[in-house]
Amino acid sequence: MQVMSLFPEWILSHGAASIVVVPLLLAVITALNPSAKLAWATVLGVTALCVFTALGLLLQVMSYGPIHYNMGGWAPPLGIGYYIDGLNAPLLLLISVVAFLCTLYALPSVIAEVEPKKRGPFYAAFLISLAGLLGMVTTADAFNVFVFLEVSSISTYVLVAMGASRDRRALSSSFNYLIMGSIGATFFVIGIGFLYMQTGTLNMMDMARLLQEIGPGDRVVQLAFAFIVIGLGLKLAMFPLHMWLPGAYAYAPSFFTAFLAATATKAALYLLLRFTFTVFDPSWDYIATAVMILLAGMGIAGMVAASLQAIFQNDIRRVLAYSSVAQVGYMLLGIGMATTLGLTAGYLHMINHAIMKGALFIAVGAFWYRFGITQVSDMRGLGKTMPWTMAGFTIAGISLIGVPGTVGFVSKLILVEAAAENGWWWAIGVIVATSILAIIYVGRMIEKAYFKPVPQINDRPVLRNEAPLAMLIPLWVLALASLVFGIQTEWLTSMAEAAAQVLSAGPNTDIPGGAYILPKVTGGH
Amino acid sequence: MSAQNQHSPHVILRVVSKILIPLIALFALYVHFHGDYGPGGGFQAGVIFASAIILYALIFGLDEAKRAVPPSWVRICMSLGVLVYGGTGVATWMLGGQFLNFTVFAPESTHASGQHWGIFAVELGVLFAVTGAMVAIFYAFGSRVPELRDEDW
């Protein structure tokens, strides 16, 4: 492939490890760095490098197939293997791109929201959180997943709590998230422990191979599955386990909310997919039942209940947070169908939702930055006072509803097709009904912004005060992405199809052979 | 030390811990460097080393301890630990191996001395990081002042 020559050989062969290690090490240096400007520049450089690496890895996976990387040269199952295939390569790129765009946005936003002394450590915590998410997605070692899950979660709790200089409620939200998140992580690691007990391995592919030998009748494996699904369900805000999410999204610093909303639940959802479909066997009775009844059922319940809750919120960030829970419902519904088309829809919606929610939260942060607006009722006249920001918000908003020509429409259409293929006609009804609910909660904000007069201060209308360029650029990149990928649907859809192929192929036992002798000096995989 | 301190009820504790603290620190280093041959290693050694500092803080007070081991050092110590660990990995990259493939340090060795040196460097990083983190946690909890004083309720 011609494009591949753009990437240095080293990035291609060691990228799987460097995409995790570089943010982690530079986070430590950033933590010691007293200058907030320099810390920001470091983060920008690191995230740009991550985007570059992730792009190289994605192209490599698309042209040459999955990448294996043996940490320390020790071949799995003895050592920790990193594994990148069609399922996680797009997600790596997504997380990196969102991190890069959010970093651009961070420059003005962090100055406004975080105390000067805390800015350096703030950026350091962000890099750790990024490294944790990338690690969760890259690693093929079940226990390593847990470690990175905790790395990203603990830094996330800290970052949410840093919203306290703007709103003290950030502290209680962060504590709430800490408790729920820790329960989730504990459940997950209990599940991994049970699997380890039964298989004696932690490598996912080796685990899948041994689970095939054990078969579907094993009670401990069944228990492990239950613990893993509930643990990850907490992390990805599956409907009744989503209570931590609105508070965390609403009171975190707005830069971090945008990043969190676009990436954190996606990484957990990826893990759910990875475990359910490629470690366990989805053709086993109890797993097929759990996927169909639990995931699809909770997905549907979440779509309806969270959309209704979103309508009755007055804080913009809480509206969008409840909407996130509802959108996770769409993804789970697609996954719950367990067909290739359904999985494509779920995966595509995961990517699309990151684009839309990233843009929306960036715009909301800009409203606060200029006018201190957090309530829907205060959005009056924003179409005139912040026309460009509001236009970006509107594009992402109509994409959230699913208007044709936007990414939201593409994934919802595939979801409807998948439901029709399965004969789940009632599901189509729910999708349409919740889209109407989305029209209400998004429309309410757009109506306030464009059809209500500009508020008066001292008998004079508020002057136009556009968001700074550092906020507008990431907002518009994401807003345009939601239009471009809504019209040029090929690219994202084919990636989602490739991911769905990986999932439909069943348990992945593709473990690179290797004698368990001392590691040899070899480059790459 | 002033005359008042010598007559304080804690004088035995102070004298005994003054003798013990250097020994604890020394024992930490023993546990660390003996980790190759017996039970031990960076984590255990780090905890023991931190306990020497924490003992000092318990006996002589947090302010004294912060004068002896300033919080800024603690932060540097933590970060240095991670950098030593990760830096070992970066060094293996530079030498052409996978991340943390210590064999590249001595590829010709017949008794895996590359692995030996690699683990040694990595464990040193763990020692720094754990010592720093333990002391930092102690300082963080020890320096907490209640946001509301009792009389403000």
Q: Rounded to whole angstroms, how far apart are CA atoms A264 and A272?
A: 13
Q: In the structure encoding, which two tokens stand for residue A428, read together?
A: 């189509």
Q: Which of B76, B99, B103 sits opposite A17 (nearest CB)?
A: B99
Put simply, the chain A residues between 160 and 219 with a CB less than 8 A from any chain B CB are none
Q: Rounded to whole angstroms, how far apart are CA atoms A322 and A326?
A: 6
Closest CA to B62 of B146, B136, B149, B150: B136
Q: Which residue has the tokens 């044709």?
A: A404
The chain A residue lying nearest B75, using CA atoms, is: A32
Q: Which of B87, B99, B102 sits opposite A14 (nearest CB)?
A: B99
Burial code (b: 16+ CB inside 10 Å, e: under 16) for B14-43 equals eeebeeebeebbebbeebbbebeeeebbbb
Q: Does A283 fall in a domain?
A: no
Give B37's pLDDT tier (boundaries 50, 70, 90): confident
Question: pLDDT value at position A514?
Answer: 44
Q: Does A453 fall in a domain?
A: yes
**N residues, chain B:** 153
> Which residue would you say has higher pLDDT here, A117 or B128?
B128
The reply to whether residue B99 touches residue A24, judged by beta carbons under 8 angstroms, is: no
Q: Helix A387-401 to helix A407-422 angle, to the nearest 10 degrees?
A: 10
The reply to whether residue B99 touches residue A519, judged by beta carbons under 8 angstroms, is: no
- Supply the range of the domain harboring residue A419: 309-505
**Chain A residues closer than 8 Å to B88 by CB:** none
Closest CA to A525 of A211, A87, A138, A136: A138
**Chain A residues closer than 8 Å to B83 by CB:** 25, 28-29
* DSSP per-residue string spanning B49-115: HHHHHHHHHHHH-HHHHHHHS-HHHHHHHHHHHHHHHHHHHHHHHHTTSSTT-GGGGSTT-SS-HHH
The reply to whether residue B102 touches residue A72, judged by beta carbons under 8 angstroms, is: yes
Which residue spans within A347-506 are E strands per DSSP?
456-457, 460-461
Element (H, E) at B45: helix B42-60
Chain A within 8 Å of B91 (Cβ-Cβ)? no
Residue A82 has what DSSP assignment?
Answer: E
Chain B within 8 Å of A82 (Cβ-Cβ)? no
Give B1's pLDDT tier (boundaries 50, 70, 90): very low
Q: In the structure encoding, which two tokens stand for residue A166, read together?
A: 């703007």
Mutation for testing the A interface, residue in B99, B103, B115 having most A CBs under 10 Å: B99
Write phi, then psi, for A83 (nearest 5 degrees): -140, 125
Question: pLDDT value at position B112?
Answer: 82
Chain B within 8 Å of A78 (Cβ-Cβ)? no
The reply to whether residue B99 touches residue A18, judged by beta carbons under 8 angstroms, is: yes
The chain A residue lying nearest B74, using CA atoms, is: A32
Q: Does A61 fall in a domain?
A: no
Question: pLDDT value at position A111?
Answer: 87
**Chain A residues closer than 8 Å to B137 by CB:** none
Radius of gyration of chain B (CA): 20
Strand partners, A139: A82
Chain A within 8 Å of B40 (Cβ-Cβ)? no
Mutation for testing the B interface, residue in A32, A171, A517 having most B CBs under 10 Å: A32
Closest CA to B74 of B128, B14, B1: B128
Q: Does A293 fall in a domain?
A: no
Q: Does A173 fall in a domain?
A: no
Q: Does A334 fall in a domain?
A: yes
Contacting residues for B12 by C-beta, under 8 A, at least 6 apart = none
Contacting residues for A219 by C-beta, under 8 A, at least 6 apart = none
The amino acid occupying position B78 is M
Assign A73 to helix, strand or coil: helix
Give B85's pLDDT tier (boundaries 50, 70, 90): very high
Q: Does A213 fall in a domain?
A: no
Q: Rounded to whole angstroms, how far apart are CA atoms A94 and A263?
A: 8
Q: Rounded to whole angstroms, how far apart are CA atoms B144 and B153?
A: 18
Q: Report the largest interatomic distance among the alpha carbons of chain B, rounded to a whole angstrom.
A: 71
Q: Which of B79, B86, B101 sits opposite A73 (nearest CB)?
A: B101
Strand partners, A83: A68
Per-residue pLDDT tens listing for chain A (525 residues): 567 778 888 888 888 999 999 999 999 999 888 888 999 999 999 999 999 999 999 999 988 888 888 888 888 888 898 999 999 999 999 999 999 999 999 989 888 888 888 888 899 999 999 999 999 999 999 999 999 999 999 999 999 999 888 888 999 999 999 999 999 999 999 999 999 999 988 999 999 989 988 888 889 999 999 999 999 999 999 988 999 999 999 999 999 999 999 999 999 999 999 999 999 998 899 999 888 889 999 999 999 999 999 999 999 999 999 999 999 999 999 999 989 999 999 999 999 999 999 999 999 999 999 888 889 888 888 888 899 999 999 999 999 999 998 999 999 999 999 999 988 899 999 999 999 999 999 999 999 899 988 888 888 888 888 888 989 999 999 999 999 999 988 889 999 999 999 998 888 887 765 434 445 555 444
* Number of domains comprising chain A: 1
Question: pLDDT value at position A191?
Answer: 96
Q: In the structure encoding, which two tokens stand for residue A364, read together?
A: 């909301």
Beta A81-84 vs A456-457: how paired, if at all? unpaired
Closest CA to A225 of A120, A317, A149, A142: A142
| Cβ count near A97 (within 10 Å) | 24
The reply to whether residue B98 touches residue A520, judged by beta carbons under 8 angstroms, is: no
Question: pLDDT value at position A525?
Answer: 43
Give the minimum alpha-carbon distance from B13 to chain A in angstroms, rounded to a whole number: 36
Give the minimum alpha-carbon distance from A34 to chain B in angstroms, rounded to a whole number: 12
Give the minimum alpha-carbon distance from B132 to chain A in angstroms, rounded to a whole number: 13
Question: pLDDT value at position A516?
Answer: 43
Give the minimum alpha-carbon distance from A322 to chain B in angstroms, rounded to a whole number: 33
Chain B within 8 Å of A158 (Cβ-Cβ)? no
Cα dihedral A423, A426, A428, A434 in deg (nearest 10): -160
Contacting residues for A20 by C-beta, under 8 A, at least 6 apart = A82, A131, A134, A135, A138, A139, A148
Chain A within 8 Å of B75 (Cβ-Cβ)? yes
Its ipTM equals 0.86
**Chain B residues closer than 8 Å to A31 by CB:** 75, 79
Cα-based distances in Å from B72 to A37, A259, A495, B135: 21, 30, 47, 11
Chain A within 8 Å of B137 (Cβ-Cβ)? no
**Chain B residues closer than 8 Å to A70 by CB:** 98
Q: What is the pLDDT of residues A166-214, one digit of tens each?
A: 888 999 999 999 999 999 999 999 999 999 999 988 999 999 989 988 8
The reply to whether residue B89 touches residue A21, judged by beta carbons under 8 angstroms, is: yes
The reply to whether residue A25 touches residue B87, judged by beta carbons under 8 angstroms, is: yes
Residue pairs between chains A and B whose CB atoms are closer than 8 Å: 63
Q: Rounded to whole angstroms, how far apart are CA atoms A359 and A481?
A: 10
Give B153's pLDDT tier (boundaries 50, 70, 90): low
Q: In the structure encoding, which two tokens stand for residue A88, read together?
A: 């996680």
| Cβ count near B62 (within 10 Å) | 14
Q: Rounded to 5, what percent of chain B is helix, strand, coil? A: 75, 0, 25
Question: pLDDT value at position A141?
Answer: 93
Q: Which of A17, A29, A521 sits opposite B104 (nearest CB)?
A: A521
Q: What is the pLDDT of residues A27-83, one digit of tens each?
A: 999 988 888 899 999 999 999 999 999 999 999 998 888 888 888 888 888 889 899
Mutation for testing the A interface, residue in B72, B94, B98 having most A CBs under 10 Å: B98
Chain A within 8 Å of B86 (Cβ-Cβ)? yes
The reply to whether residue A520 touches residue B103, judged by beta carbons under 8 angstroms, is: yes
Contact in structure between B98 and A72 (CB atoms under 8 Å): yes
Contact in structure between A440 and A311 (CB atoms under 8 Å): yes
Strand partners, A81: A70
Q: Does A446 fall in a domain?
A: yes
Mean pLDDT of B81-107: 90
Q: Rounded to whole angstroms, how far apart are CA atoms A423 and A445?
A: 35
* DSSP per-residue string spanning A253-303: -HHHHHHHHHHHHHHHHHHHHIIIIIIS-TTSHHHHHIIIIIIIHHHHHHH
Question: pLDDT value at position A12?
Answer: 84
The reply to whether residue A71 touches residue B98, judged by beta carbons under 8 angstroms, is: yes
Q: What angle do CA A428, A430, A434 make, to 5 degrees?
A: 120
Q: What angle do CA A237, A240, A242 make, to 5 degrees?
A: 30
What predicted TM-score, i.e. pTM, was given to this entire model?
0.92
Chain A within 8 Å of B113 (Cβ-Cβ)? no
Cα-based distances in Å from A304 to A41, A262, A431: 42, 21, 9
